Structure 1
Amino acid sequence: MKKTTVFYGWRIVFACFILMACMIPPVVTMASKFLIPITTEFNISKSSFTLSNTILQTMGIFLSPIISKNLSNGKLKKHLVFSIIGYSISFASYGLVTNIYMHYVISFVLGVFYLNVGTIPVSILINNWFEYKKGVAMSLAMAGTGIGGFLFSPLSTSLLENFGWRKTYLIIGVIVFLTAMLTTTLFIKEKPEDIGLEKLTKDNTIDNVPIVDKGIWDDFKSYKKKIFVWLILIGMLLNGIVHSGSVGQFPAAFEIKYGAIVGSLAVSIYSIVGVFGKMIMGILNDKKGVIYSIIFGTAGFSLAFILLMSTSSNEGLYLLSVFYGLGMGLGAVVPPLLIGAIFKGENYSVAYGYVNSMMQAGMSLGAMFVSMLADKFNTYTVAWFILLVFTIVACVLWILGYQKSKSYWTKHL
């Protein structure tokens, strides 16, 4: 193995961190920042605006398995460059719409490019470069979402106040394009073998006894009907609903109840705390196993939703934001780590494609589901309670699925 002062894989982690910071927050975390100005100008309901996010996320239901396979064919960097261009142009085009239907059309196009620049390529890259310290590497990469949310929240608030929602879309689109394109061009290498390196692993022996990697090495397709797979997939669906329903509606819900400044600060708090939450989950995965990461994240989310339903003070809002940030890895870090703990080798990309498809199905429903409940009951409380239940159920399903998968594991040197 070629020796370098610092393993190049950590540059890949940095690049993935930047991509996540640029690509995820504008269409997930910050989407509802535009809810109030657009619904006011077009005189539409919250759920009508949120349908745009549903359309965008729905693309992943059908395309995730295809995109996962295509991104593993040795042309990942070319796919990234093309998709960054498409993503940036599409996002900036939101500022040109004159009615909500044009917004829907752009969301359809943006949804395709979004899948090619988000968690799918990042998870594939990390899996290609790391076996040892994969949890830490994955959590660092996914932490970009939190930092991006932390930066984009006050930025978008300021831009909206000073330039209006149309120019804000354009400005953010330009920022995303320049940052992501420069990062991809300078740092992205699909596999260690492309530059004469090998995946980061532990020594393959301890005291001359071979280390075996346990998991499922057979073709994923032969396991699609197994109960453990469906337990995990249903958990992913619920997780997607929780993640989209909370992240997609928190900014608007906080602004309505606490005002724009306090609400923006709360979003920034859970975004920055989310960086540490994801790191903790990555470390727990590497030291104790993925089940500990799942339990940790579930506890954080559960406490956040409980506080969300029981507090009305600014201090309570900030505290629940801390808990929510600690659990945010459930949406980004846990899915690839859980699948990586079960499916090995070339199976990973195929399995993750199906998992991401279910996550996207949940993501497409979550924000719309919460906004419809808010419109119906004129409060978000009912929605927060349902998301709390979904969080706990998803945790149970993942743990059961992981445990049941062990009966199919084999050893591999």
Structure 2
Amino acid sequence: MASEQVQKKGGFHYAFLIVAAGIAITCIPCALVLSCAGIYFTPVSNYFGVPKASFTLYFSILNLAMMIMLPIGGKLMSKMDARAVLSAAVIIDGLTLIAMSFFTAVWQFYIAGVLLGIGTAPLIYLAVPSLINAWCKRKVGFFIGLCMAFTGIGGVIFNPIGTALINMGPEGWRTGYLVFGIIVLVVTLPFTAFIVRSKPSDKGVQAYGADEVSADAGKPAAPEVGVSADKAMKTAAFFALAGFSFLITVNQTVYQFLPSYCASFSNSVPEIAAVSGVVASACMAGQAIGKVILGAVNDKSCKGGMALGIGSGLVGVVLMWFLPSVVALLFVGAFLFGFVYACTTVQTPLLVRTTFGSRDYTNIYSRVSMAGTLGGVVASTFWAWVIDLPGGFSIMFVLSIVCMALCFLFGVFALGQGKKLEKTEN
């Protein structure tokens, strides 16, 4: 019956539970695996008596595994029940974190890196954009931004908890991994197993914001329109978006070196070095708030959202580079840089959706994201090499500006090409 297909305007829609599931996914497994990884680097390295680079190699392996997993995850998400795919990913992450609490050698963490990459790839890159794209016809950008903001919020919540567990004793890191793994399974699995649905028709409703609130509500929902993955990957727009994804991720990683930049003033302007941690927190606040704002702006204009995110990043870099001695402006610069940081997981999927449509979105976005994951693999090593050069931090900021300018050009080009593409129905 038509009444079973309709959600009353202004009433509760099942899509809101999908958003809640997206928040659970980003705030728990994504944050615990990615945003909280750094708190274990020193204690675990010290426990096994190895250089940090030997232990943190597992994180590079994790990123490589995610890159390889993304096209596979995209196919699985487009063909299988999202509940099965995402629940399996959560189980892999949760059990691997628990297993890490029992490891007795560093090489075992390398295997864990592979498993965490397999589990985390669909959770961080595919789950939120794919589900929101399927379940919402309006406020898509806002809901994606809201969900993705919780990767940072989860880090803010769980980093202190993890640190407290680690500080309980010389093997406190074991307790930390154990508790994190249990949290992933107990909190997230109910959402992926019992709430997530691949598409609105699975619940007998239309997408949030569809025309079911009108007089024609009884009519079937409009089919998804867009470009097939095979066709999209042969276009210049696809390669432009892959370039955008790669460079925006490389640029995002500059954030990791802002504390080192502040510390470089320890002899000349010690008050700057003293606030290095606050600068990092200001950037994290910027990326969390920026994700929500960018999402909302993208609902009005994708190009406008891109201009806001990249423009904020450019202003932020200029403030940090030329006016670091004014501590308040240093904080403002770091906060604004957080907006371009937010572009990685908010602007990229929305650019893909706007350019190619929703017909084969998951498969296309998973392949674009591979370039971003590759950027994450090489970025830390690249920037570490850059800042060791004479005048390294100035070079870093110049290259950051170049990255952002190229990203804007790539994005504008892709959007322009997208308007020329023939988009067909499923």
Tell me if the contact between 1:60 and 1:356 (Cα under 8 Å) persists in the aligned partners. Answer: no
- Inter-partner Cα distance in structure 2 for 1:181 and 1:378: 48
Taking structure 1 as reference, are residues 59 and 387 closer, same or farther at Cα in structure 2, changes over 3 Å only? farther
Distance in 1 of aligned mates of 2:51 and 2:319: 27
Look at both structures and tell me which one has the larger radius of gyration over its CA atoms.
2
Structure 2 Cα separation of the partners of residues 9 and 24 of structure 1: 21
Structure 1 residue 352 corresponds to structure 2 residue 383:
no
Give the fraction of aligned pairs with identical amino acids, expressed as a percent.
22
Quickly say closer, same or farther: Cα 1:90–1:369, change in 2 above 3 A.
farther
In 1, the alpha carbon distance for the partners of 2:79 and 2:142 equals: 26
Cα pair distance change 1:395/1:278, threshold 3 Å: same
Deviation for aligned residue 1:374: 5.1
Structure 1 unaligned regions, length at least 5: none
Mapped contact 1:278–1:333 kept (Cα < 8 A): yes
Q: Who is 1:201 aligned against?
A: 209
- Aligned equivalent of 2:90, options 74, 84, 89: 84
**SS at 1:115 equivalent:** helix
Query: What SS is found at the alignment partner of 1:6?
Result: coil
Deviations 1:111-165 (Å, cap 9, x if unpaired)?
A: 1011132221221111110122211121112122121122123333433434443
User: Residue 204 of structure 1: CA displacement?
Assistant: 9.0
CA 1:306 to 1:149, structure 2 compared with 1: closer, same or farther past 3 Å?
Answer: farther
The counterpart of 1:296, out of the listed 305, 308, 332, is 308
Per-residue Cα deviation, 1:357-383 (whole angstroms, up to 9, x for no partner): 111111222233334445677976644
Structure 1 residue 365 corresponds to structure 2 residue 371: no
- Distance (Å, rounded) in 2 between the aligned partners of 1:176 and 1:135: 26
Q: Deviations over 1:296-318 (max 9, x none)?
A: 11122233334444526764553
Residue 333, structure 1, aligned to residue 343, structure 2: no
CA distance in 2 between partners of 1:41 and 1:316 (Å): 40
Count residues in correspondence.
Answer: 407
Structure 2 residue 178 is matched with structure 1 residue 165: no
TM superposition shift of 1:259: 11
Cα distance, 1:292 vs structure 2: 0.9
Moved more, 329-338 or 28-37: 28-37
Residue 235 (structure 1) aligns with = 244
Q: Distance in 1 between matches of 2:136 and 2:245?
A: 24
Counterparts of 1:46 and 1:298 in 2: how far apart (Å)? 33
What is the match of residue 106 of structure 1? 112
Shift of 1:252: 7.7
Using the TM superposition, give the Cα deviation of residue 399 of structure 1 relative to its aligned residue in structure 2, in angstroms. 1.3
Q: Which residue of 2 aligns with 1:150?
A: 156
CA distance in 2, matches of 1:259, 1:25: 29
Q: Give SS of 1:189's match.
A: coil
Match of 2:230 in 1: 221
Show structure 1 runs of 4+ deviating over 6 A: 204-208, 251-261, 375-379
Q: CA deviation at 1:38?
A: 4.0
- Residues 1:134 and 2:146 are matched in the alignment: no
Name the counterpart of 2:219. Answer: none
Distance 1:137 1:66, change over 3 A: same
Which deviations, in whole Å up to 9, do the C-alpha atoms of 1:173-230 show, x marking residues without a partner?
222222212333442222111111011235499999xxxx9x9734221232322221
Taking a change above 3 Å as real, the CA distance of residues 28 and 249 of structure 1, as seen in their structure-2 partners, is farther
* Structure 1 pair 348–29 and aligned structure 2 pair: CA distance change class (3 A): same
Distance 1:321 1:95, change over 3 A: farther
* Matching residue of 2:7: 3
Higher RCO (CA < 8 A, seq sep 6+):
1
1:395–1:206: structure 2 CA closer, same or farther, 3 Å change rule? Answer: farther
The Cα of 1:270 is off from its aligned counterpart by 3.3
> Contact 2:255–2:283 (CA<8 Å) still a contact in 1?
no
Deviation at 1:11, TM superposition (A): 1.5
Structure 1 counterpart of 2:107, which letter?
Answer: Y
Read off the aligned partner of 1:397 and give its amino acid letter: F
Match of 2:242, SS? helix
TM-score, normalization by structure 1: 0.85
1:32–1:252 contact (8 Å) kept in structure 2: no
Whether the aligned pair in 2 keeps the contact of 1:92 and 1:170 (CA below 8 Å) is yes
Q: How much does 1:237 deviate?
A: 1.2
Deviates more, 1:92-101 or 1:320-329: 92-101
Q: Take 2:164 and 2:398, find their aligned partners in 1: how far apart are those partners?
A: 32
Partner deviation per Cα, 1:315-354 (whole Å, 9 max, x = no partner): 4553333213333320111111111112224321221121
Amino acid in structure 2 at the alignment position of 1:225: K
* Distance in 2 separating the partners of 1:165 and 1:251: 24
Distance 1:104 1:356, change over 3 A: same
Q: Specify the code of the residue in structure 1 equivalent to 2:415.
A: Y
Q: Give me the whole-angstrom Cα distance separating, in 1, the residues matched to 2:68 and 2:328.
A: 42
Q: Cα RMSD between the aligned structures?
A: 3.5
1:411 deviation in Å?
Answer: 7.7
Match of 1:7, SS? coil
TM-score between both structures, scaled by the size of structure 2: 0.83
For residues 337 and 23 of structure 1, do their structure 2 counterparts lie closer, same or farther at Cα, with a shift above 3 Å needed? same
